[in-house]
Structure 1
Amino acid sequence: MDRAIVYAGAIPMDTDMLRVGRYVKDGLGRLAEMLFGVGAMAASGLDCSVSSTGLSVTIGAGSILAPGVMDAADIGGAGGGLPADPTAIAVQYVNDAPQVVSMPAAGVTCTIYALCAESDVDETVLPFFNVDDPDRTLAGLGNNGAGLPTRRQGGMQFVAATAPPAAPAGGTVVPLYTLTILANARSLAGVVPVPGKVFWPTIPELATLTTLRAATAPMALMDVGGTLNVPAWASRVELRAIGGGGGGSTSNAATPTGGSFSGSGGGSGGDAWGVYDVSAATPGGLDVTVGAGGAALATGGTTLVSYGGQTLLQAAGGAPGSFFSSQGSAGGGGGAASGGTIWNLSGGWGGDGQSGESTFAGYGADGPWGGGGRCGADAGMPATKYGAGGGGAYAVSATGAVSPGGAGYRGCVLYRFLP
């Protein structure tokens, strides 16, 4: 690390202090590159708190290390100073106070970006040496009473957008959090900001059991599609995908002899489970699609997770209960599963409904946690837990009326990142 040399009795120059600042910035920048790698970005603090009353978040105090330059503009001046220096170096940017960031709209997935740049601030009217009267100082340069900036600040502003904004002059743009906002949302209540790859574990965290605890924590649940960013410390991810449950069958007869009296239940979604290699350096993260529950007589949606453009695992939705004849109703089959490295389990069958003048309990198939919809008079009951099938309907007020089957329950993805 360079250091300035001064001598007793020598007249100090403005560039002496300015060079000290550059040497310190250079030394800290090179140390940061040793720790994180050349060109890396790292963030500390900057907590993201969502608003429960509006479409905004608050970003707390914190700092960022990101690629920058020594000085994009001249520093100092007024007859001295140092010229701009475009040497690339890791630069620290600081946010001292919370900032409120408004979301662009509802119904979008957006990212909160930090716009990092240096600017000259803290203007002050400085005393200058008076050659004509050394006992009296001048108020500002040439006694003009005007202020001059006294600090070059590395700061940041925040913006939420669906695409990266342009970088400020001499600065950089750092993605911090991703948020998925439901259509017609009036607040961000229930929205969980997903931190980006810039939030690295600290040395104390790595030196203790913090990372181990994170890796052995219960799997997290995701029941809405979106993107999972890979933490900087992770090398693997454990995933379990559950497909959506199929819907139950409808009925339209008042008695078993009148026709379609008792509908069958929907099948449950498939179940795929595995562990996969990942890297924070791979762009895009993990793309998650969650299968919807099937409405009456409809198949449940497929749940899948893809990474780097390739599908890792997927679980198809359960088939609906249906009438194969006017007096015959078979339960829906379970969805298939593929890609799992631990298991690939097909979903369960829904209960049969009517067979001739006999009727059976057309219950929906249970998902991994139960919840199959029961058969019901005038309407099949909807499923109540992930991947379960809807119940079949039996009995109507009059032949020709429709008693709808119950809806299947949506699928989900369970995930946990591992060292």
Structure 2
Amino acid sequence: MDRQIVYPGAIPLDTDFLLTNRNTLVAIGALTRATLGTNTVADGLACTPTSPASLSVVVAPGSITALGPLDTTDYGSLLADTVSQIVKTGITLASTTFALTPPATPGQSIDYVIEAAFLESDATPVVLPYLNAANPAQAYSGPGNSGVAQNTQRIDRVQLQLKAGAAAGTGTQIPPAVDTGWVGLYIVTVDNGQTSVVAGDIVPHPACPLLIFKLPQLTPGFSRRVVFNSSGSFTVPVGVQTVRATVVGAGGGGGGTDGTYAAAGGGAGGFASGTFAATPSTAIAITVGAGGIGGAAGVNAGAGGTSSFGSLCSATGGAGGVFQSAASTPGGSGGNGSGGELVGRGGFGTDGQNNSFSIGGHGGTSLMGGGGRASTAGSTALNGQAPGSGAGGTYNSSGAGGQGADGLVIVEY
């Protein structure tokens, strides 16, 4: 950072002090930019019901960091600089209380948005003493002995405000749009007849820029993982803007037999993996494909179901092993992936072998591991052993084939 030089015996100037302050501001802004970037970021500012409960909420102290001009107005005798852009931090040390009004019509609700912005202003006016050259022992009161008060601080704060939406039937109300230059922090919902706000009425705004991790909590890369073994949904945590998803389709069922020939194994599900932009607080549908049903006499085995992460990536299931119809029965084909940076096909189930070493087909191998073992004389076909793997086909006297393994969806953030 830049530093001022002052020499012994030199008359100190006001700019020596002002430039020291400005240089410190620039240096801290550069460090903040290097760690937080240039997007608006907030910290603290937790929103909670009052205690005792009422129709008000309290926003705790906190800070907001935003990119803006170095100085929009003159800073003492330093001229304004609206061209240079730095990252500044506004700090609020006091809590802020907002009162909410329920809608007057029964059956209606209203959404309020609490929004924040960076605010810089000059404050603390004081009538300052000035040098009276004609009589140095008697200072002037204000510039030119005018008695005019002058601001003595340039303060950076968090500006908060409450914005009401339109009342509508409960469940159909819409939060108001965030004002230009502001960021949404919370949405608070109140219903007709409600007498107090509870924690469940307060949710983060979808674009809430609050930091959710501190430096001691950070780990490299995608440090948190959610594994879905069944269908559901993934809600993007507040503060998370990028997620990585890996999907594996389900395995196909193993082929069955009527006692004449050995049946084929089922194919494994395909896979896809990618990194995707995400919107905080948004729910993304998760589909986990079901494993294919093992084939019985005269019936082809079922194919595995498709797994998907919203519309961003998906993987089809493996084909089921076909019912034996000849001395050599081809195994089920593997599924395919789509979407993301890495896509692939599941392994094929092996053919049913009908010779002096008659044996059913093995299940195809998925991204997650091997398939079900084929049956031999006196044994039954095994289900898929790893997520998305195919099931083994049955020996010529073993009946139904194995069950394909269900798929899998892994979300990291």
Give the TM-score taking structure 2 as reference length. Answer: 0.51
* Change over 3 Å in CA distance of 1:276–1:160 after alignment to 2: farther
Q: Choose from 85, 108, 131 the match for 1:88.
A: 85
For residue 115 of structure 1, the aligned residue among 114, 117, 135 is: 117
Question: After the TM superposition, which residues 46-125 of structure 1 pair with which residues of structure 2 at under 5 Å, given as runs?
Answer: 46-51=45-50, 53-76=53-76, 80-103=77-100, 107-125=109-127
Equivalent residues of 1:234, 1:417 under 8 A apart? no
1:201 Cα offset (Å): 1.4
For 1:158 and 1:277, the matched residues in 2 are separated by 38
- In structure 1, what residue type is equivalent to 2:11? I
Question: What amino acid is aligned across from residue 213 of structure 2 in structure 1?
Answer: P
Letter in structure 2 aligned against 1:137: A
The offset of 1:152, in angstroms, is 0.2
**Residues 418 and 55 (structure 1 numbering): CA distance in 2 closer, same or farther, change over 3 Å?**
farther
Q: Amino acid of the residue matched to residue 151 of structure 1?
A: Q
Using the alignment, how far apart are the partners of 2:219 and 2:275 within structure 1?
Answer: 23
Cα distance in 2, alignment partners of residues 418 and 164 from structure 1: 30
Cα distance, 1:198 vs structure 2: 2.9
Quote the offset at 1:134 in angstroms: 1.1
Match of 1:199 in 2: 211
Q: Which residue of 2 aligns with 1:16?
A: 16
Cα 1:139–1:276 shift into 2, 3 Å: farther
Corresponding pairs, count: 255
Aligned-pair CA distance for 1:133: 0.7
Q: Distance in 2 between matches of 1:94 and 1:85?
A: 22
Distance 1:114 1:132 in 2: 51
Question: 1:41 aligns to what?
Answer: 40
Distance 1:104 1:277, change over 3 A: farther
CA 49–235 in structure 1, closer or farther in 2 if over 3 Å, else same:
same
Amino acid at match of 2:136: P
> Quick one: structure 1 residues 54 and 145, their matched pair in 2 at CA, closer, same or farther if it must change by over 3 Å?
same
RMSD: 4.2
> What is the match of residue 154 of structure 1?
156
- Please report how far the alpha carbon of residue 131 of structure 1 lies from its aligned counterpart in structure 2 after TM superposition: 0.9
Structure-to-structure mapping, 1:376-395, within 5 angstroms? none
Question: Which whole-Å CA distance do the structure 2 matches of 1:183 and 1:235 have between them?
Answer: 38
d(CA) in 2 for partners of 1:48, 1:278: 32
The normalised TM-score by structure 1 is: 0.51
Partner SS for 1:31: helix
Residue 184 of structure 2: aligned partner: 175
- Residue in 2 that maps onto 1:135: 137
For residues 28-78 of structure 1, the C-alpha deviation after alignment (integer angstroms, 9 at most, x for no partner) is: 1111111122x22222222211236433321111111111111111121xx
Give the Cα separation in 1 of the matches to 2:215 and 2:139.
Answer: 50
Measured in 2, the distance between the counterparts of 1:114 and 1:286 equals 18
Deviation (angstroms), 1:83 = 3.0
| Higher radius of gyration, 1 or 2 | 2
Cα distance between partner residues in 2 of 1:287 and 1:193: 12
Which residue in 2 is equivalent to 1:163? 177
C-alpha separation between the residues in 2 aligned to 1:32 and 1:129? 40
**For the structure 1 residues 29 and 141, does the alpha-carbon distance in structure 2 shift closer, same or farther, using more than 3 Å as the test?**
same
Provide the C-alpha distance between the structure 2 equivalents of 1:7 and 1:108, rounded to a whole number of angstroms: 64
Distance 1:277 1:181 in 2: 39
For 2:121 and 2:91, the matched residues in 1 are separated by 12
1:188 aligns with 2:204: no
Cα distance, 1:3 vs structure 2: 1.6
Q: For structure 2, list consecutive stretches of 5 or more residues without a partner in the other structure.
A: 104-108, 164-175, 247-271, 289-304, 318-409
Q: Tell me the alpha carbon deviations over residues 168-227 of structure 1, each in whole angstroms, 9 at most, x when there is no partner.
A: xxxxx233233444555332213243272331412122269xx96x7689xxxx99xxx8
Q: How does 1:396-411 map to 2 (within 5 A)?
A: none
Task: Note the C-alpha offset of 1:94.
Answer: 0.6
Separation of aligned partners in 2, 1:57 and 1:100: 6
- Tell me: CA distance 1:199–1:104, structure 2 relative to 1, closer, same or farther (3 Å): farther
Residues 64 and 117 in structure 2, CA contact (< 8 A), matched pair in contact too: no
